[in-house]
Structure formats: structure tokens, C-alpha cells
């Protein structure tokens, strides 16, 4: 290494010296050229093949090749040139080390933690829905989106929060772009939480309705979690690994037992209508959020984390072994016509709204500015944790897209189109799919349902059943054979439902907490989290809020997913806009104007997408796209005294549509206004900083020298190993002398 040079931008105490540029060795030039060729070959095959079957291996090559290059070059550029992460600067974990909340965590452990916190059902759902436009638009957005937007957002947010003692995004927004922007950000977080919970719950309801196997298995997770909770609290406190292994074993047993129940006389008891399931979900959500954390939430969390990491690993292996063939077209006609049955609207902006998690997910900024910055050991590890974890989540999204594209396209549309389009018999569905321009016979539809031992697969919207079909295809090809199809299908349903329920539980609590905080400004006792009436009232409000949208989603003749998913996407991308606006403001305020484009370009893209989508949802004349145009169609029909119009079969359904469209339209307006407010405030803060750089105040913590020696990436380099050896540490980062736990 050359002597560190002082940089031009040393206005902050202890700004990192710019690392000397090193030429790539011939060996790494060869390796990276090969990686680039593999990636480029993948993209070429995906883009150029028309009408013939393409192996999923090409999609993997395109994605993995691109990720590798982005991680090696772009994330390094962001870390060293833009953020100037400082190896010598102590992180909050080192400064405030209390051994519990703040403690410098090994980077490999923290990578696991952070990944488990950001990855959930989101990346499994969006890509499946977006598959209606073919696999190509989804693949391009998932890969390009994560490289230039999603992973950048996670990494930069993590960096700035680490420099601010792990402050949350809302607090940073208030500190750096002002009270109004901060308040808008808070309202946005609350609103998105409600829509998120409703959409996630809707996905489970659609997957579990009329499925005794599914309902029994998922129902059993509650007693299993209670047992684990009591075990951890009373029998053997803190023994998480053993209780999780017991829990997973019981869970697998519950899936198998679900098959027995479905064939027994109990089947009827567990065959529930969507409406009944909604009521159960609301009751569950309320109880789960007022019961003590140790009894239900904590054990459920362990269970779903184990399942998540295990299944995603298994899926990656399965895809590599099975290397299935993509049956969906690269680009379907719905990409241009915008008349797709799964969600309405054309490719731009709606693919970019539908696939949020996996490409750019605003929600991650809450994790990157929450627990992770309090645990990170070294600033240099921000690249691995922030950028690297997000690449893995993006890979999960690619696998979900593969799962959706390997099943027969005819089956895909029969499963994902709303009830009003598909109808209730296999004959009607076969015809409806034919009208959409795809073919599947009634017999094939009946057989597909029989293979996974479900009564019917028609209009099981929401993505989970489609993903489960794809996963059962992959897993039965890779391990177990066709006889295991039904097991793997229900395994996948269970896997998704498990962490959706965990999110529902945790999200209701967070929503309740935020609401209590807001209500506390009006009536003081609400702020006290141990004041029971306050907890109950706030929980009830939150549960009823998402319960309302869930109820509406289940009963909407136009299809709940079709109506609500765009709102969820818009809300998630709105949160991303808040995070990217905060990041851009901070880059400018901290004297990095030259590099502000790193977050400003994705911000502009995100705003263009979100505002175009909002505009179309509010003002479009096409009743399939615009909420208010939709409202007009049905209101006019009601005024004329018609009994039937569009997908509404009677006057009651017409009235439902009128109410829902109005509510959804008003929410779209609210989201659009919030984005504009945050952007306006951020622009003002940026302009002020550019005009009067001397007057800028940053709430960054002071530089303190770090005593910790630790590698930056998952694997230590030769130099880092030498440094660690000099500090008396073994190659795994633990002191050489004794087995220490720190």
C-alpha cells in the first residue's frame, strides 16, 4: 500500500484517507473477464431467444455474473470513493459496547442477522406477479434495480446510521431535512405498514382458503410456538438452537399430518371460507400483539428464521440440480398492452412497482437504520453487510421468478387471474385462459390440482400458491420424485405463511407502537407502553385498519391482489424515495456533492416510477387502471339502475367496488402528496447546503479511534490475516490464547 494521501474533503474530523488505487493483477483480470463473459452470455441468451424454451441456468448466469461484478467493482467504489469508510474509526458497537444491544458482532454472524431481517415474503411475491409480462422485464429490473438502487440504498443508509449511533431513518430525516419532511416520513411509514400487513395477510388467506391441509398445518404453528415459548422461558432459558430444532421437527410433522387431516373426516372442520379466515386472522393479529413477546412472537421468530435460511439454501441447491426450463415467454403481450389479468397497467411503471422487494425495497432502510448499525464491528464491513445481503435477497427474487416461469403459462394464468375472470370450473377457466391467449385443457387443470392434493387451484391469487407450485416442481425434480409433490407444495405454503404471520405479528406491534407515540401527543398516557388500555386500544385500531383492507381485498369482485398490490408497491417505493432522499441530502451536506448521483439517480428513477404509477392510478381514463375512472363506471351504472356491469354480478358488488375504488384512490393521492412533500423538503435542505456550505450542521458523531482489528469482507485477505496475527487474533477473528466469546 502506498502512503495514505490527505484528501481534498477533510472538513470532517478524521475523514478516511483515500485508498491508493492498485492495478488489478493479471490473474484477477482473467478471472473477472471470465465472470463478465458468463454474465453477458446469460443476458444474450435470455434477450435473444424467442419462442424456444430457455434453461433457467441462463437466468442464473446472467444474475450471478452481474452480482459478482457489481459487488467487486461498484460497491467497492461506493465504499472507498463515495462514503470513504474509515477502518480506523470506531463504530457505535465499539463505542457503546454493553455486550447486549450494542456489541461488535462478527461480520459473518451479522451478515446472517441482517439477511434474516431483510428477507421475507416480499421477494417471493412480487416477481411471481410480474411474471405475467414474461421473465425478461422482471429479470432485468431485479438485477439492475438491486445493483444501482436497492443495494445502494441499504448500504448508504447503513453507513449514515452507523455514523449517527444507529439512529432510525425517521430520526435522521427529522434531524437532517427538517420537521415537516420528518413528519411526512413518519406518516408514510405508518401508512405503508397498514397496507403491507393487509396485502401479506391477503396472500395467506388466498393460499389457505378451502385448503384443509394448509389451514391445519399453519394452525399447528401456534401451539408449536407456544410450546417453544414456554420451553425457552421456563424449562431451559436461552437454549434457542435446541428448541428451534425441536420446533422445525414438529413443523415438518404438522405438514405431514395436514395431509392425513385433509383425507380424514376432520377435513370439513378445517375447510374455511376466505371471509372466515379474515376474521380468524384479525383475532390472531390482535391477540398476538397484546400477548407477551416471549410467548408467541419470539419463538415464532426463531422458527421462521430457521425455516427461511434452510429453505432458501435448499431452493438454491434445488434450482442448480434441477436446472428447469422456463416455459413462460420472455415478453408476453401484456407488457405492452397493459391488459394483464394479474395487475393492470403497462410495463412502465407497473413492473417496477410490483417488484419492490428483491430490487429496491424501502422497508430495508428501517432495518439498515435500526439494529444492524448498533452491531457492526467496522465501517469497512458496511459493504459486505449492506450491499452483500441485498444481493442475496435479490437472488431469492430471481429464484421466485424462476419458480413462476417454469410452470405451464396456462396454469399460471388460471391460478393468478382474479375469480371474476377465471370462473369457478375447470372448463370455464380453460376457456378464460384461452381468451387470454394461452392454452390449457380442463383435464390438465384438474390434474395439476390433484398432483398437489388441493381441491382447486383456480384464482389462487397472491403469488404464494404459484410459488409453491414452482417450488414443488423444482424440489420433486431435485429430490424425492413426483410422489413428494403434494408435500413440497404444502411445505412451500407453510414456509411463506410462517413468516408472513411473523411479520403480521411484529408489524402490528410496530404499528401499535407508532400509533401510541402519535396518540401520546394528544393524550399523554398513550405514550406509556405498559398502560394496558392504551396498548389494547392502539392494537385494536391497527388490527382493524389492516383488517378492513383485508376484508375488502377478499370480497372485491375485481380481485383484492389486483387492486391492492399496486398500492403496496407504491407505498414501498415511497419509503425507498424517503430513504434515498435522506441519503442524497446527507451526501450533499457532508461535502460529497460530486458523488451525490450515486443515490440521486436511483432516487429520480424511483420518483419517476412512483409518481407515474400514482398519476395513472389517480387520473387514468382506463377503468382497469385508474381508481376514479373505475369508480365512475360502476357509479354511472348504479345511477342508471343497471344490475350488472363489468365484473360485478349484482348491485351490491357494484356498490362495494365504488367504495373500494374511492378509498384506494384517496390513498394513492395521500402517497403521492407525501412523496412530493419529502422531496420538496429534501431539495430545500440540499440547495441550502450547496449555497451555504459553511452553515451546514451535521449530526454526525465525533471521530474516535477504533481499537478493533477485523477483516472487511466475509473472507480475510492476506494483509488482513497478517494484521490480525499481529494483534494476537487467530484467522477466525478470535484471540489465539483462549476460547473467548467476544
Partner 1 sequence: MSTGTHGTLRHVSTGALRHRLSRLRWFVRELTGEATYDRYVAHARSHDPDAPVMSRRAFERSRTDAREGDPREGFRCC
**Cell representation of residue 431:** 376457456
**Of residues 272-301, which lie at the interface with partner 1 (CB under 8 A)?**
292-294, 297-298, 301
Ramachandran angles phi, psi of 565, nearest 5° = -60, -40
Cβ closer to partner 1: 3 or 739?
739
Binding residue for partner 1, selected from 38, 95, 117, 252, defined by CB under 8 A: 117
| Binding piece for partner 1, criterion CB under 8 A, among 502-510, 596-604, 671-679, 721-729 | 502-510
Q: Is 108 in the site for partner 1 (CB under 8 A)?
A: yes
Polymer length in residues for the chain:
742
Q: Is 742 in the site for partner 1 (CB under 8 A)?
A: yes
Cα distance between residue 406 and residue 383, in whole Å: 34
| Binding piece for partner 1, criterion CB under 8 A, among 357-365, 482-490, 558-566, 634-642 | 357-365
Q: Is 113 in the site for partner 1 (CB under 8 A)?
A: yes
Name which of 14, 75, 76, 19 is nearest 706 in CA terms: 14
* Bridge partners (DSSP) listed for residue 735: 729
Cβ closer to partner 1: 95 or 117?
117
| Binding piece for partner 1, criterion CB under 8 A, among 114-122, 424-432, 551-559, 590-598 | 114-122
Q: What is residue 232's DSSP assignment?
A: I
Cβ closer to partner 1: 101 or 652?
101
Residues 6+ apart with CB under 8 A from 654: 634, 637, 638, 642, 645, 648
The total of other beta-carbon atoms located within 10 Å of residue 640's CB is 8
Binding residue for partner 1, selected from 34, 44, 109, 179, defined by CB under 8 A: 109
Cβ closer to partner 1: 197 or 682?
197
Maximum C-alpha span of the chain:
86
**What secondary structure, in 3-state letters, does 497-546 show?**
HHHHHHHHHHHHHHHHHHHHHHHCCCCHHHHCCCCHHHHHHHHHHHHHHH
Q: Is 518 in the site for partner 1 (CB under 8 A)?
A: no
Q: Is 119 in the site for partner 1 (CB under 8 A)?
A: yes
With vertex at residue 147, the alpha carbon angle to CA 588 and CA 503, rounded to the nearest 5 degrees, is 95
Residues 6+ apart with CB under 8 A from 388: 71, 75, 111, 714
Q: Is 531 in the site for partner 1 (CB under 8 A)?
A: no
| Binding piece for partner 1, criterion CB under 8 A, among 71-79, 355-363, 666-674, 698-706 | 355-363
Q: Is 233 in the site for partner 1 (CB under 8 A)?
A: yes
Cβ closer to partner 1: 240 or 593?
240
Q: Is 96 in the site for partner 1 (CB under 8 A)?
A: no
The total of other beta-carbon atoms located within 10 Å of residue 417's CB is 24
- Whole-Å CA distances, 424 to 360, 427, 431: 36, 9, 12
Q: Is 200 in the site for partner 1 (CB under 8 A)?
A: yes
Interaction pattern, residues 670-689, with partner 1; x per rule: CB under 8 A: --------------------
Cβ closer to partner 1: 119 or 603?
119
Q: Is 520 in the site for partner 1 (CB under 8 A)?
A: no
Q: Is 232 in the site for partner 1 (CB under 8 A)?
A: yes
| E strand intervals along 598-681 | none
Q: Cα 464 to the chain's mean position, in Å?
A: 14
Cβ closer to partner 1: 97 or 699?
97
| Binding piece for partner 1, criterion CB under 8 A, among 63-71, 143-151, 499-507, 591-599 | 499-507
Q: What three-state secondary structure class fits 425?
A: coil
**Of residues 360-419, which lie at the interface with partner 1 (CB under 8 A)?**
361, 363-364, 366-367, 370-371
Cα distance between residue 154 and residue 101, in whole Å: 21
User: H helices within 355-463, ranges in order?
Assistant: 364-368, 382, 389-405, 409-416, 419-422, 426-436, 442-451
Q: Is 311 in the site for partner 1 (CB under 8 A)?
A: no
Interaction pattern, residues 120-159, with partner 1; x per rule: CB under 8 A: xxx-------------------------------------
Cα distance between residue 650 and residue 620, in whole Å: 25
Cβ closer to partner 1: 88 or 713?
713
Cβ closer to partner 1: 72 or 734?
734
Q: Is 237 in the site for partner 1 (CB under 8 A)?
A: yes
* Bridge partners (DSSP) listed for residue 729: 735
Per CB under 8 A, residues contacting partner 1 are 97-101, 103, 105-106, 108-109, 112-113, 116-122, 168, 196, 200, 232-233, 237-241, 244, 292-294, 297-298, 301-302, 304, 357, 361, 363-364, 366-367, 370-371, 499, 502-503, 506-507, 509-510, 512-513, 529-530, 572, 732, 734, 740-742
Amino acid at each position: 500500500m502506498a502512503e495514505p494521501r490527505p484528501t481534498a474533503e477533510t472538513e470532517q474530523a478524521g475523514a478516511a484517507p483515500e485508498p491508493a488505487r492498485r492495478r488489478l493483477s493479471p490473474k484477477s483480470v482473467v478471472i473477472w473477464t471470465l465472470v463478465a463473459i458468463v454474465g453477458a452470455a446469460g443476458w444474450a441468451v435470455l434477450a435473444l431467444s424467442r419462442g424456444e424454451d430457455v434453461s433457467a441456468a441462463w437466468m442464473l448466469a446472467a444474475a450471478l455474473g452481474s452480482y459478482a461484478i457489481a459487488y467487486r467493482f461498484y460497491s467497492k467504489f461506493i465504499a472507498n470513493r463515495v462514503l470513504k469508510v474509515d477502518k480506523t474509526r470506531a463504530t457505535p458497537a465499539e463505542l457503546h459496547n454493553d455486550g447486549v444491544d450494542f456489541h461488535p458482532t462478527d461480520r459473518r454472524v451479522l451478515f446472517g442477522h441482517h439477511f434474516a431481517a431483510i428477507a421475507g415474503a416480499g421477494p417471493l411475491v412480487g416477481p411471481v406477479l410480474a411474471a405475467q409480462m414474461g421473465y425478461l422485464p422482471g429479470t432485468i429490473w431485479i438485477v439492475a434495480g438491486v445493483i444501482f438502487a436497492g443495494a445502494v440504498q441499504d448500504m448508504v443508509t447503513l453507513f449514515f446510521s452507523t455514523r449517527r449511533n444507529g439512529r432510525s431513518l425517521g430520526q435522521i430525516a427529522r434531524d437532517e431535512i427538517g420537521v415537516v419532511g420528518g413528519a411526512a416520513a413518519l406518516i408514510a411509514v405508518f401508512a405503508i405498514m397498514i397496507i403491507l400487513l393487509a396485502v401479506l395477510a391477503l396472500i395467506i388467506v388466498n393460499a389457505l382458503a378451502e385448503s384443509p391441509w394448509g389451514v391445519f398445518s399453519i394452525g399447528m404453528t401456534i401451539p408449536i410456538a407456544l410450546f417453544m415459548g414456554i420451553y425457552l422461558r421456563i424449562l431451559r432459558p436461552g437454549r434457542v438452537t435446541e428448541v428451534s430444532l425441536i420446533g422445525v421437527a414438529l413443523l415438518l410433522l404438522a405438514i405431514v399430518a395436514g395431509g392425513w387431516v385433509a383425507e380424514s373426516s376432520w377435513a370439513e372442520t378445517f375447510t374455511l371460507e376466505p371471509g372466515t379466515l379474515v376474521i380468524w386472522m384479525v383475532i390472531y393479529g390482535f391477540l398476538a400483539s397484546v400477548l407477551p413477546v416471549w410467548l408467541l412472537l419470539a419463538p415464532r421468530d426463531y422458527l421462521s428464521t430457521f425455516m427461511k435460511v434452510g429453505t432458501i439454501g435448499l431452493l438454491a441447491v434445488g434450482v442448480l440440480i434441477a436446472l428447469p426450463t422456463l416455459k413462460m415467454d420472455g415478453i408476453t403481450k401484456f407488457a405492452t398492452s397493459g391488459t394483464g389479468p394479474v395487475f393492470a397497467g403497462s410495463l412502465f411503471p407497473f413492473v417496477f412497482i410490483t417488484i419492490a422487494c428483491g430490487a429496491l425495497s424501502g422497508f430495508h432502510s428501517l432495518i439498515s437504520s435500526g439494529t444492524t448499525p448498533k452491531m457492526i464491528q467496522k465501517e469497512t464491513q458496511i459493504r459486505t453487510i449492506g450491499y452483500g445481503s441485498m444481493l442475496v435477497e435479490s437472488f431469492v427474487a430471481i429464484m421466485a421468478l424462476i419458480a413462476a416461469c417454469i410452470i405451464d403459462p396456462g396454469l399460471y394464468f388460471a391460478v393468478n387471474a382474479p375469480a371474476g375472470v377465471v370462473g369457478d370450473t375447470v372448463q370455464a377457466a380453460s376457456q378464460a385462459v384461452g381468451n387470454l391467449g394461452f392454452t390449457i385443457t380442463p383435464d390438465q387443470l384438474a390434474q395439476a390440482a390433484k398432483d398437489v392434493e388441493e381441491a382447486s387451484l383456480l384464482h389462487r391469487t397472491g403469488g404464494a400458491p404459484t410459488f409453491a407450485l414452482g417450488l414443488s416442481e423444482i424440489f420433486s425434480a431435485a429430490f424425492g420424485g413426483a410422489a413428494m409433490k403434494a408435500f413440497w407444495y404444502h411445505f412451500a405454503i407453510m414456509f411463506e405463511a410462517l413468516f408472513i404471520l411473523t411479520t403480521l405479528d411484529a408489524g402490528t406491534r410496530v404499528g401499535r407502537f407508532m400509533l401510541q407515540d402519535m396518540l401520546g401527543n394528544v393524550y399523554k398516557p398513550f405514550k406509556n407502553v405498559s398502560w394496558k388500555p392504551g396498548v389494547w386500544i392502539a392494537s385494536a385500531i391497527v388490527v382493524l385498519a389492516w383488517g378492513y383492507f383485508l376484508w375488502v381485498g377478499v370480497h372485491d369482485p375485481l380481485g383484492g391482489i389486483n387492486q391492492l398490490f399496486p398500492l403496496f408497491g407504491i407505498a414501498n417505493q415511497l419509503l425507498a424515495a424517503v430513504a434515498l432522499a435522506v441519503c442524497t441530502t446527507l451526501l450533499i451536506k457532508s461535502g460529497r456533492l460530486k458523488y451525490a448521483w450515486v443515490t440521486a439517480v436511483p432516487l429520480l428513477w424511483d420518483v419517476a416510477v412512483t409518481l407515474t404509477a400514482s398519476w395513472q392510478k389517480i387520473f387514468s381514463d382506463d377503468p382497469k387502471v385508474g381508481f376514479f375512472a373505475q369508480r365512475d363506471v360502476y357509479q354511472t351504472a348504479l345511477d342508471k339502475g343497471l344490475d350488472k356491469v363489468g365484473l360485478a354480478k349484482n348491485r351490491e358488488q357494484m356498490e362495494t367496488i365504488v367504495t373500494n375504488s374511492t378509498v384506494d384512490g384517496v390513498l394513492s393521492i395521500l402517497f403521492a402528496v407525501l412523496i412530493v412533500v419529502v422531496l420538496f423538503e429534501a431539495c430545500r435542505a440540499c440547495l441550502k447546503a450547496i449555497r451555504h456550505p459553511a452553515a451546514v450542521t451535521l449530526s454526525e458523531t465525533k471521530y474516535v479511534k477504533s481499537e478493533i482489528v477485523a477483516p472487511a469482507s466475509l473472507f480475510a485477505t492476506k494483509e488482513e490475516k497478517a494484521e490480525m496475527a499481529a494483534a494476537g487474533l487467530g484467522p477466525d477473528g478470535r484471540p489465539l490464547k483462549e476460547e473467548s466469546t467476544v
